[in-house]
Structures are given as C-alpha cells and as structure tokens.
C-alpha cells in the first residue's frame, strides 16, 4: 500500500504540524492567532473544518518563519553570507512545515508528491546551511534551528 510510508512519516512527526505550531518547536514563543498573513477570505470558513484548520496553521507557519528570518539566529547583519544562511534556515523550515500541512490536508497526488520532495530537499539544505554556519563560527541560535519532528 503506497500510503503506508507516508503514514509512517506523518506518525514520526509528533502530533503533526497542527500541534507543533502551538508548541515552541522553532524555539520561539507560541504564535498569536492574529497573523499578518491571515487572508480575509479565510475568515468566512466555518470553524472546525479542515480548510479552516489548514489556513490557520498555514498562517502560523508563515508567522513563525517571518519571525525567524527577522531574528537571523543572532547573526550580525554585517556578515552577508552568514545572514543569508541564517535567514534561509527558518525560510526552508517554513517550506517543510507548509509541505507537511499539504500532506495532512491535501488530496491531490501530484501536490502530495511535490510536498514530500520539498520536505526531503529542504531538510538537506537546512543541514547544509547549519553546517556552514557552524564551520564559519556563525552558528545560528537554537531559535532558528530546524524543528525535530
């Protein structure tokens, strides 16, 4: 059965992204519900529906990602290379978290495959950027480290 590896993958993510966003998995305080990314169209969705949950969680992911990019893991803004890597870590983690939401809520097989690919590729790139930051003495603070799911 093709969905078994996917189910195993999702089971390996502690209670999935839905609850991960309410915890401090990016090393930042919990995200408030008033996201600058909230779409006015989402306000019309019935509470408790999968679409409402998806959009609420997506807004949360975007807010956490933006905050991480702004904080840059404490890297001095004068170091352009380190700034790039430090901002890309939460940016890529945001992509991973968004892709996980697609796997939780999405139905389209092509988009689900794309989401799986995004997760795999972005996690490798997060590791590469964190390694670069460590090698150059600019290791990002834990607040911008990738979530451990």
132 or 144, higher pLDDT: 132
Specify the pLDDT at position 48: 84
Q: 55: closest CA among 90, 10, 102, 9?
A: 102
Domain definitions of the chain by residue range: 50-141
pTM for this entry = 0.68
Side-chain half-sphere exposure of 90, counting CA atoms within 13 A: 26
Q: How confident is the model at residue 44 (pLDDT cuts 50, 70, 90)?
A: confident
| Token reading at 74 | 């404490």
Specify the pLDDT at position 112: 98
- Mean pLDDT across the chain: 76
71 or 3, higher pLDDT: 71
Q: How confident is the model at residue 35 (pLDDT cuts 50, 70, 90)?
A: low
Q: How confident is the model at residue 21 (pLDDT cuts 50, 70, 90)?
A: very low
> How confident is the model over 58-72, as a mean pLDDT?
92
> CA-CA distance, 13 to 20, in Å (whole number)?
9
Specify the pLDDT at position 143: 44
From the CB of residue 20, how many other CB atoms can be counted at a distance below 10 Å? 22
Specify the pLDDT at position 41: 61
37 or 48, higher pLDDT: 48
Q: How confident is the model at residue 93 (pLDDT cuts 50, 70, 90)?
A: very high
């Amino acid at each position: 059965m093709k969905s078994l590896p996917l189910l195993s993958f999702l089971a390996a993510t502690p209670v999935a992204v839905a609850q991960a966003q309410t915890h401090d998995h990016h090393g930042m305080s919990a995200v408030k519900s008033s996201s600058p990314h909230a779409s006015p169209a989402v306000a019309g969705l019935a509470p408790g529906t999968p679409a409402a949950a998806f959009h609420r969680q997506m807004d949360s992911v975007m807010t956490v990602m933006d905050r991480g990019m702004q904080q840059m893991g404490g890297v001095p803004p004068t170091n352009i290379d380190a700034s790039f890597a430090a901002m890309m870590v939460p940016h890529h983690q945001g992509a991973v978290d968004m892709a996980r939401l697609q796997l939780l809520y999405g139905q389209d097989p092509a988009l689900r495959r794309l989401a799986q690919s995004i997760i795999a590729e972005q996690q490798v790139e997060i590791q590469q950027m964190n390694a670069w930051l460590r090698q150059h003495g600019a290791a990002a603070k834990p607040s911008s480290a990738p979530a451990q799911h």
